[in-house]
Chains A and B, each alone.
Chain A
Amino acid sequence: MSAIECRDLVRIYTAEGVEVQALQGLTLDVERGELTAVVGASGSGKSTLLNVLSGLDVPSAGSAIVEGHDLLAMRERDRVQYRRKVVGFVWQQTARNLVPYLTAEENIVLALAVAGAPRAGRAARAAELLALFDLSAQADSRPVQLSGGQQQRVAIAVALANEPAILLADEPTGELDEHNSELVLGAMRDVNEQLGITVLIVTHDPGVSEHVRRTVQIRDGRTATETLRRVTVSDSGIESHTAEEFAVLDRVGRLQLPAEYVHTLGLRDRVRLDLTRDHVEVFRGDAQAIADAATTPVASDDDPALSRRARRALSEGEAGA
């Protein structure tokens, strides 16, 4: 079972006659234990997605099932339990993740108290989490006494206080320098690898993608592409990192072409598709493009690169000739 399963998720905000379609039919699957980054430009809908997944917002249409919880069908009472036990949340602003007048340890305990954890175990759990992130020495420090990176790591610890299945992070390194970003991302990776928690990081920083195995790109409220990274070790022991980018195909076969492809080829309005044995070709659909195609050197019948249509055209042309 997927940890996160979104199908055609739509979220529309209406105000004063203005409609904003933040999510326009987003489809996303995240497996259990995955470390996934969701990237997109401002206004792409990624923060909205995170708000929906965290239970802070309700989608307008579609379906979103997280760890078996149907987010559209949940009542307020269920939503509260969901936020306590199923997801943990980390915001971008370090100041917003922590209560400013409580120490690091007290912040963790607060999360436990809110969820109704037994009082006896709270202290131990706080100590455990702080130790996990090497922050035991900062237990009595208030947020203003911590660096940005330390604050975010405490925030992660707070988010994990009640052992959620999923950790959601909205631009966790947005306000941090490179060194602290590394520390925070490293912490999230450890959380994912050691505790098996599914981690979903939303960011507009492409650099974050290099730290995760899977990156989903959102554009205009829909998933556009995915990038999967692998580390392969050659026989000689040399590690090579490979990243493959995929376009996301939804249920009915729609996909988004990458922006630079569209721009480079000048694709507009209609495009022509050609099916080959193992791939689909996309051509410009305007008159000039068709004329150009007619003057291109013709490949032989046996050329596997020939599309079915091209072959038919050839054969008709031969028949007519």
Chain B
Amino acid sequence: MTISPARVSALRLMLRRARADARSLVLLALLTGLVALAAGVVPRAMAATSAADLAVSVSSVSTPTRDPSAVLTTLPATAIWPEPTHESVYGILDASIARIQDAADEPLRTAMGEAQEAVITKDAIGVIHPDLARSPGDLALRLAADPADSADSADSAGSGRVVYIAGAAPVSWVYPARAATAEDAGGPAEGLGALPDFAATATSAHPFEFALAKDAAAAMKLTVGDEVTGSLGVMRLSGIFEQTDPDDGYWQHVTGVTDAEITYPGNDSPLFTATALVNPLSVGTFLMSGELGVYTRFWWPLSAASVTPANAAEMSSALHRFGQTLFPLSVPDGSAVRSVTVSSSLADAIDTSRGRMSATLAVLSLCLAGPVGAVLAVFALAARSVALRRSAVTALMVARGARARDLRVVAGAEGLAVGVPVAVVAAVVAAAVVPGGYGAGGEGGDCGGILPWALPLVVALSPAAFFAVTAVDGRGLRLARRDLSPLARGRVRLALEIGAIVLAGLATLLLVRRGVASAAAFDPLLTLAPLLLALAVSVVALRLLPVLLGAAARIARRGRGIVAFIGTARATREPALGVAAVLALVLGVAVAVFASATLTTVDRTARAAAHNAVGADVRATGALFSDAAVDAVAAVPGVASVVPLATAGASRLAPLSNGVTGGAGSGTSVTVLITDTAALRAQHPDVPVGLSERIDGRIPMLVSRDLVDIESTFGGQATGAHARLGITDVVVAGVMDATVDLGVDRDWVLVDKSFARDVGANRFGPSTLLVETDAGADIAGVADGVRAELPGVRVDDAAAVLGVVQAAPSSVALRAVLAASALAGALLAALALFVASVSASTARARTLGTLRTMGMSVRPALGLVAWEIVPATVVAALVGTGLGLVLPWLVLVSTDLGPFTAGATPAAPMYDSAQVALVVGGFVVIAALATTLAVVAARRTSPATTVKMGEE
């Protein structure tokens, strides 16, 4: 019979070979596809997270702090009297602003919009309502001018930011002129000409005009034409306006315009403060008046959208450089050139986001060690399993004259056929599932670019590499004698093991010495170090295992049962699980435990930091709280204690030495807090008792830690030191730790409410309530309860602060990364266990066959399987748990977790034993399932057949 040439081609023979191992190859292809999918999705997801996190971080910065802005305490005007013009008042400023903008680097320069300016009085002027009966309370006006509204400015149409709905825009007001006198000149006054009359004030005939926003005017019960009196004289409301766009960034720089702010400054009458707009050319009056301080503010609007992942790094650098430069402004008096710095917190927001992404990527890099190591182990196991099954045919082909190189090439080609198509499909699917994150411009920072395509390519080539390596025994084509001990290769293996341990130590040392990496990118050292560590401990575990099993074998030999005896003997001499499987197991457990510990550390630290940021679990501010209100809040379910806190404003604390203070003006300016110290003790047990009773006629007070840390405050010993607070004699009764946040950052003292009047408050009127909740209570729910009791009051809770931190995209990504890598590691370890068990099934079937012919029943056979798997798995789980408990240290040393913990840096990892036990237990269950599946899969081989057919 003739044979067609097609039937004899090498390709066909290869296909026949592949068909014989179809099941293994399909499984391997599936795994390759899944890994390639993950390899394509993860970088894209990280890029998307990076972009989202950056957007959230940048937009969370308020407009006034984001826009690069500068403040002058003066105005470089040339001529402000008697006839100021826009050019004479604002000319130099405008020119300087243009120069400063040109000095900015890209991409900042392009992103900065057109400059905006405002001149605002430093303090509000108290004014008196024309009709006290109609007045809602005390009134104060801050005056602001928008140079763009100047009548003779370049843009004569005005800024267009306001539209007058009643009255008209205010006109300018300058001091009237008077003739120079001899006094002015210090001699004859001829030739001096006119001088401004500072004694003059605005009158009804020539009032100082101002305009208010609609809501502010309504709150202050003022209408157009009303004249209020203040330090400037008669001030007339010339017009009421509406803001064209209340959300315009301008009104966030010039605050208080839209509505009046209501405060209660120590007495019962409310104070209404609003910012009024005046004519830009009236600014000269502010400058000339000795009482009205003024500051000039200019800024460039910078939209959050102008910061992209692609330009974030450059924008941050440009902002930092911009902020560190002193820009000179010329002033007309010819004196030293004033300099101004332009600041923006956008750089910090960008850096915070990049820091978060850096930390996330660092944690991701470390977590990747688990799945990557397990995947490599599974690939190695699968390839070796296939090679072992084909070893007889390989030996045959070698005997027939095939070259090792050719065999490797054929195996590699087979690996390519297995890996490349699925990987391509997976990469395309990944691109569809998570679009974006790639581009020539490196969008997505360092996790975009070509990485989402390069990684699946590496995965695609892995099966080919493993197949080619395992295809032929590396010792060459010469046969080995099977009766000689396989430890003939022992020396090579020992050298490799020692090498692995040394490398692991080196990598860890490098990591520890390097400290925190600055780049927001995948950190290969953080992936390599734990992988090598896991390899090192796996190697050690495998060396120790025979020792343990030997001891177990000796015990088993004394017993009557056969299973333990044979089980330990097989486990020692014919181990089913090699380095690859044990490594996968160790990594799987380690990553799972690491994830649990890291999550615990981050959560607990963040919770504590959020609590400190608020000062308590829940904090209410913004009103005067009566005793009834305090009791109502205390009655809310879940509330453990309420501390009312009042402030008596600032005072001067002067320590006494020898009964004498340092003199007027000496001492430190501190904030005086007043509270119910008994209630405070309920929340902070280290508050000393007896703070409501005088000590030797002196009022006892607590001081903040930072006051004590400054030596000049109290010299040596703080507690017991005598001092004078304002005019009151006080004695330091205790020091409160810096972690106790009572709403004031630093330099505060605290006295009991019974001494409220003594320290300058009319009475004890708490404006802050610190609420601690019961253990395990729902903080957000308690906060809602407090809100219900105190409508209109601002209520902050630690849960909300924590929520903001945890809502950041990178925080979400961190949790997802930890959870996913733990799961992936566990599943891959289970898969490695499955493959190793299946590979060992041939040898097991042979032993079982022999034992069955001797009369052993089925049940003990399962015991053999247990002995094969369980000791190694238990040791691997123990070793992996140990490694997993150590790995968080690596993260703390090499990563700044501050962005996830609301700024606090955890000093040491924290462990939740229950969670760790659950994780390890879950892993054991998965491993048991994998083993059961492997046993079931292998049971289909009849032992009788195996005995008859021999090893094949």
Contacts and interface: CB of A to CB of B under 8 A. Distances in A.
The answer to whether A and B come from one shared complex is yes
Interface of A: 13-16, 18, 20, 51, 54, 56-58, 76, 79-85, 89, 93, 95-102, 105-106, 109-111, 113-115, 119-120, 122-123, 126-127, 136, 139, 158, 162
A56 B950 contact: no
Interface string B568-609: 000000000000000000000000000000000000000000
A123 B5 contact: yes
Nearest to B485: A16
A101 B16 contact: yes
Contacts of A95: 392, 949-950, 952
Interface string B385-405: 000000011011111111100
A289 B114 CA distance: 127
| The 7 residue pairs across chains A and B that have the minimum distance between CB atoms | A84-B401, A15-B488, A123-B3, A83-B401, A15-B484, A109-B8, A101-B20
B477 interface: yes
A81 B401 contact: yes
A139 B3 CA distance: 10
Interface string B27-56: 000000000000000000000000000000
A114 B481 contact: no
Contact of B478 (A58, A109, A115, A127): A58
Contacts of A76: 476-477
B19 interface: yes
Contact of A114 (B3, B20, B395, B402): B402
B854 interface: no
Contacts of B1: 127, 136, 139
B411 to A, nearest CB: 15
Contacts, number: 107
A95 B393 CA distance: 10
A210 B531 CA distance: 64
Interface in B923-952: 949-950, 952
A127 B2 CA distance: 8
B487 interface: yes
A54 B479 CA distance: 11
A304 B521 CA distance: 102
Contacts of B13: 102, 106, 109-110, 113
Nearest to A137: B1
A93 B339 CA distance: 96
Interface size class of B (residues with CB under 8 A): 35 or more
B490 interface: yes
Nearest to A54: B399
A105 B3 contact: yes
Interface of B: 1-5, 7-10, 13, 16-17, 19-20, 392-393, 395-403, 476-479, 481, 484-485, 487-488, 490, 949-950, 952
A83 B400 contact: yes
B24 to A, nearest CB: 14
Nearest to A130: B1
B403 A20 contact: no
A79 B395 CA distance: 15
B949 A102 contact: no
Given A18-B484, A93-B950, A127-B3, A106 B400 contact: no
B503 to A, nearest CB: 27
Contacts of B9: 119
Given A85-B401, A158-B400, A120 B5 contact: yes
Nearest to B8: A109
B5 A15 contact: no
Contact of B401 (A20, A99, A106, A162): A162
Given A95-B950, A102-B16, A105-B3, A16 B401 contact: no
Contacts of A120: 5
A93 B477 CA distance: 20
A106 B13 CA distance: 8
Contacts of B7: 106
A51 B398 CA distance: 12
A79 B402 CA distance: 10
29 contacts: A14-B488, A16-B488, A54-B399, A58-B478, A82-B401, A83-B398, A84-B400, A95-B949, A95-B950, A95-B952, A96-B392, A96-B395, A96-B952, A101-B16, A101-B17, A102-B16, A106-B16, A110-B397, A111-B400, A113-B8, A113-B10, A113-B13, A114-B400, A114-B402, A115-B401, A119-B9, A123-B4, A123-B5, A136-B1
B52 to A, nearest CB: 54
A96 to B, nearest CB: 6
Nearest to A80: B403
A13 B400 contact: no
